[in-house]
Structure 1
Amino acid sequence: MDRETRQTALATFLILGVFGTFLYFVPTIMLAVGEISPVLGALVIGAVLVTPFLFFWLRSRFRNRN
């Protein structure tokens, strides 16, 4: 494992750790928003699920550009 691979693995681990911690609170947030509007609650959970894929896609584009 070279230096770049180790840094990538560490960054991925930290990003997924932070996102996983955030996922612990998502049901509470979704239920609170869902009381206002069920459609808004669905949009919030959809945004939460798409965010890591979007983040990793943008990160890979940035790293491949350099």
Structure 2
Amino acid sequence: MNRETRQTAIATFLILAIFGTFLYFVPTIMLAVGKISSALGVVVIGVVLLAPFLFFWLRARSQKKKAD
């Protein structure tokens, strides 16, 4: 494992750890939002589920631009 792959692995671990910690609180957030509006709850969970994919997609694009 060279320096670049080690940094990538550490960054990925930190991102997933932070997102995993956030997921721990999602049920509480969903119950609170659900009391306001069930449609808003659907939007919130959609954002929660799409956020890591969007983040990693943007990160991959950024890394690709750096490589070029």
TM above 0.5, one fold?
yes
Take 1:17 and 1:31, find their aligned partners in 2: how far apart are those partners? Answer: 23
Which one-letter code corresponds to 2:38 in the other structure? P
Identity, % of aligned positions: 73
Alpha-carbon deviation of 1:28?
A: 0.4
Partner of 1:5: 5
Take 1:54 and 1:16, find their aligned partners in 2: how far apart are those partners? Answer: 13
Q: TM-score, normalised by structure 2?
A: 0.95
Aligned length: 66
Take 1:31 and 1:49, find their aligned partners in 2: how far apart are those partners? Answer: 16
CA RMSD of aligned residues (A): 0.5
Q: Note the residue ranges of structure 2 that are not aligned, 5 or more in a row.
A: none
Partner of 1:41: 41
Query: Deviations 1:1-48 (Å, cap 9, x if unpaired)?
Result: 111000000000000000000000000001100110001001101100
Q: Note the residue ranges of structure 1 that are not aligned, 5 or more in a row.
A: none
